[in-house]
Structure 1
Amino acid sequence: MKKQICVLLLISIYSCSKNGAELLGTWQVKNNYYKATYKIMEEHDSIKAKVLYYHDGTTIIKPEDQKEYYAFENLKYTKNQYVDAISGATKTKELHPNIALKLIHKDTIHVTKYISKKPLKEVWIRINK
């Protein structure tokens, strides 16, 4: 009985503590309107998505560009998803995410970006581990 309680306790602790490791890797956006590849990484205790490639017909970002671009920089785990509550436009402590990532499968993320308070939904597919 004690072993069962210990196992249940360890499982609950592990499932509650999310550090974002399952998101780390290179992801490609599955979208009809633009092409993008992002690398999700942990840097200085922050989960970031670096833009490796982006092309929407007008703006192009390539790996050989000198400047680094990030899609998000400080994900927090809440309500079964990761959110980026950082916004340069507001100085609030309330959680109003401008991006939300929900891991659907180990190789699939549903991403919701909020642009002018309207959701834009995408699917990101892992391209390497």
Structure 2
Amino acid sequence: MPLTLSEYAEWGDPAVAADWLSMRAYSPYENVRPAHLPALMVTANLNDSQVPFWEPVRWVARLRAANRGRNPVLLLTHRHADHDGPSGRSRRLRERAVEWAFLLSLLPDATRPEAPSHCAPCRARRGCGSASPGSPRP
């Protein structure tokens, strides 16, 4: 679990008042305040031995409650991932694709790159976008 005895030298001992106050000062969860937040995509890995999955879930809930703007605060959970993220090439590539899709979704329409023309058959088959380059995005 986080903050075991071996980590006290680095982070401090939460049983010591001064250390606890220091930890609280930089705690992402404790420092959420009502604000216009940027778009966020937070990940929670179910097999993470260092950050239990419920911690990012709680943090996202608090962020959503504090968000005074319209930017999304998304939670992405990985069932087959540990502290280092998904294992295996295809899972890592899928995670990168989701991250890039999230980032690209934040760009204004005029600055979004068009999908390569070879994607048109894929889009027609799977319904994953507009049928031809230059047509309106879904």
**What TM-score does the superposition give when structure 2 sets the normalisation length?**
0.24
Higher RCO by CA contacts (8 Å cutoff, separation 6 or greater)? 1
The structure with the largest strand share of the pair is 1
The structure whose Rg is larger is 2
Higher share of residues assigned helix: 2
